[in-house]
Chains A and B, each alone.
Chain A
Amino acid sequence: MSRLRRFLRTPEALAGAILLAVLFAMALSASLLFPGDPQAIAGPALLPPFQNWSLPLGTDRLGRDVLVELFHGARTSLAVGLAAAATALVIGAVVGTLAGFAGGLVDEVLMRITDAFQTVPGFLLALAFVSVVGPSLGVVVVAIALGTWTGPARIARAEVLSIRERDYVAGARVIGMHPLEIAFREVLPNALPPVLAMSSVIVAAAILTEAALSFLGLGDPNRVTWGGMIAEGRTVLRTAPFLSIVPGIALLLTVLGVYLAGEGIVETTAVRRGLS
């Protein structure tokens, strides 16, 4: 409880938390407030915002409601961001733990593979992966995770290297626990906090990567995505700039919110550690 209070006392964290809460509310309420197909044609095409109160944010080139698309886009952004980050963290933690705990040849092999992935820019990797496999939500998640799991892997390995020398690990060995059991039941949980601290950065990066992929036409075409909305609006940027600006602002606020909230969590935990 006190941690939460401390978290909410920092203004940045508070702002981040509010932004995130709004975003989650948008994502969760999308189907309740706007049931049916978000891409359905709702009115005349290219209606500017604030002209017609049944279509408050106006319509796009086909006459689809921008507000509805914005809400449903929040779902996609958030789902992809969280799923990609979770996938990246799981892969990273497992690879890092195995490498750090096993050492020797296994460590060498796993870390060289990590190096190989790190040398390729994450976005290019995602781009290549999606263009080969074909765009769908699951593929986009995997594609983003492919480029981001290396960071968590390195941090997990570093943590594990120090933890595996602790007494309780030696103890577990003595009572005859299987090495894999020690790695994943004793070592990994203790190596996790610094890895999780990276999650906000990864989620923010994942949301941006998803938007960039959709912008390039490599998102799932059957779902509304903010990146896709920006790309659609780009062709009419001079005549209807709001079509790109509205989802652009949403994207900016989301990434800002995730980042600020993540910073807040890191700060609070750091303060707690410092005090204890």
Chain B
Amino acid sequence: MSGFTISRRTMLTGSAMLLASTSMPALGWAQTPKKGGRLVLAADSEPRNLNPAIVASNGVFFISSKIVETLAEASFDGKDGLAPRLAVSWEGAADGLSATFKLREGVKWHDGKPFTSADVAFSALQIWKPLQNLGRTVFKDLSAVDTPDDLTAVFKFAKPTPFQLIRNALPALSSVVPKHIYEVGKIEDNPANNAPIGTGPFKFGEYKAGQYYRLTKNADYWGKDEPYLDEIIYQVLPDRTSAAAALEAEEIQLAAFSAVPLADLDRISKVPGLKVITKGYEGLTYQLVVEINHRRKELADLKVRQAIAHAIDKDFVVKTVFLGYAAAATGPVPKNDPQFYTADVPTYAFDVAKANALLDEAGYKKGADGNRFSLKLLPAPYFNETKQFGDYLRQALAAIGIDAQLVNNDSAAHIKAVYTDHAFDLAVGPPVFRGDPAISTTILVQSGIPDGVPFSNQGGYKNPALDALITKASETLDTAARTDLYKEFQKQVAADLPLINVAEWSFISVASEKVGNIANNPRWAVSNWADTYLAG
């Protein structure tokens, strides 16, 4: 057991150091890049729609980010945390009403047609703004995209829009698709949604349902000497235990997105030729959150919510549910966010006695059976960890006299129960922090969101002061002032507990030592892999 603890701690410190020092070279075992080869990796889901401009989610990016590129990608050392892709430079106007992008020269679509600013204008106006799950919020005030020449796109906004938000949204929200393919017929039904055409280093090869996706090298890629790989094969391995076995048998060379269960990492890190990598997901932080239905009269009481927060032992959750591969959360912005995070928020130490006292104070005395009241608890089924935390939360609540009854659903039924039918008292959810609170975080506590919008405030929480703060931040153009408003936002959320942030975690990759240039940007698993290579 002790050997386990040490190795885990070393690994965590290692990743923290890498995070802190951006000038550190790419990982130590990388040899000189070599051309050619086929990278085989594990894929645990098979998204049907592979168009990242419509479905901006990690499951889709994992495959399609190699084919369809964005204007910019996240970077450890680039200015504002960005590295250029299809755009080479960007600038926001002082009045927040326009943003100018200079585009890369000499880029060709996979079908040979040239990439121009018309493609950017089309993608932004016809897809990101009206159709994309995240773009609907960020680009809601986008009114036009001017194209003075083939390599300049000027975004015009109807209302002042903070350029900081647009910039932070670029890596995930700005996938550019070809206008000449999508302008015919309905965008949602376009065959290119299933066989994407882009500008990326790899072309879509084929997809065999239940077996694999195959991507092939784009010989005309704009990057010099890139890509290195000839082929990428996504081997569909839905069973999480089989990815580890496939790695050991050298059938695959990479399992990203924690395809290898956390409990197996210690064992697998000792297998010669395999490496466990905790880096490369800094831009994809998942948050473990207890969603609260404020329609329940008990839960509408702040004291009850505080009691629940005090009843959760965050360290236990990090150590036992996540085996140390997570961090305890303090509020709605994760600690690893370089721009917005503040630790200056009310915190809730693990204190069962205090939790019990708070519940007594709120007027919910223990009954003869030791219970105060009963709640329905719906853990999201997407991750083992969310389910396990559900089991833990039930025990934690039992300790303070709240009887939680678990309700298990499949993904579709869970989304319907929580976000449409509101048939829950508490739910365990894994929202994603996407580099800016305005992209997918404020929506978790804002009021006035229509029923049925997944991963939004469907708990009936309404706080006019917080709503006003969110609106003000969304209109503030000055970066420093905007950042301060989001720090205030974190304080208010932690104080009023519309939801309870428990932990923050990201993913782990396990790869063969032959795979080079792994984890060299904060969204590595969903970046374009142009510089990834296989050593001999």
Interfacial residues, chain A to chain B (CB-CB below 8 A): 37, 39-41, 45-46, 61-63, 131, 134-135, 217-218, 221-222, 234-240
Contacts A39-B395, A40-B395, A217-B381 known; A238 to B410 CB distance under 8 Å? no
Q: Are B266 and A39 in touch, CB under 8 angstroms?
A: no
Q: Are A62 and B321 in touch, CB under 8 angstroms?
A: yes
Report B224-274 residues with CB < 8 Å from chain A CB. Answer: 240-241, 244, 261, 263-264, 266-267
Contact of B266 among A45, A62, A222, A239 (CB under 8 A): A239
Main SS of chain B's interface residues?
Answer: helix
Q: Are A237 and B241 in touch, CB under 8 angstroms?
A: yes
Q: Are A40 and B264 in touch, CB under 8 angstroms?
A: no
Q: Are B388 and A37 in touch, CB under 8 angstroms?
A: no
A61 to B406 alpha-carbon distance, docked (Å) = 18
Interfacial residues, chain B to chain A (CB-CB below 8 A): 240-241, 244, 261, 263-264, 266-267, 320-321, 381, 384, 388, 391-392, 394-395, 398, 405-410, 413
A238 to B244 alpha-carbon distance, docked (Å) = 9
How many A-B pairs fall under 8 Å by CB?
A: 55
Q: Are A45 and B320 in touch, CB under 8 angstroms?
A: yes
Contact of A131 among B261, B264, B384, B410 (CB under 8 A): B410
Contact of B264 among A61, A62, A221, A238 (CB under 8 A): A238
Q: Are B406 and A221 in touch, CB under 8 angstroms?
A: yes
Chain A residues, Cβ within 8 Å of B240: 235
Q: Are B388 and A61 in touch, CB under 8 angstroms?
A: yes
Closest chain-A Cβ to B370's Cβ sits at a distance in Å of: 10
Contact of A37 among B392, B398, B410 (CB under 8 A): B398
Q: Are B407 and A221 in touch, CB under 8 angstroms?
A: yes
Q: Are A222 and B263 in touch, CB under 8 angstroms?
A: no
A243 to B216 alpha-carbon distance, docked (Å) = 43
A222 to B397 alpha-carbon distance, docked (Å) = 14
Chain A residues, Cβ within 8 Å of B398: 37, 40
- Closest B residue to A51 by CB, please name it: B1
Q: Are B408 and A221 in touch, CB under 8 angstroms?
A: yes
Chain B residues, Cβ within 8 Å of A135: 408
Closest chain-A Cβ to B112's Cβ sits at a distance in Å of: 47
- Closest A residue to B381 by CB, please name it: A217
A66 to B86 alpha-carbon distance, docked (Å) = 55
Contact of A236 among B264, B321, B391, B392 (CB under 8 A): B264
Q: Are A62 and B388 in touch, CB under 8 angstroms?
A: yes
Chain A residues, Cβ within 8 Å of B384: 235
Closest chain-B Cβ to A272's Cβ sits at a distance in Å of: 48
Chain A residues, Cβ within 8 Å of B408: 135, 217-218, 221
Chain A residues, Cβ within 8 Å of B241: 234-235, 237-238
A121 to B240 alpha-carbon distance, docked (Å) = 28
Q: Are B391 and A39 in touch, CB under 8 angstroms?
A: yes
- Closest B residue to A40 by CB, please name it: B395
A55 to B409 alpha-carbon distance, docked (Å) = 32
Contacts A40-B398, A45-B320, A237-B241 known; A61 to B407 CB distance under 8 Å? no
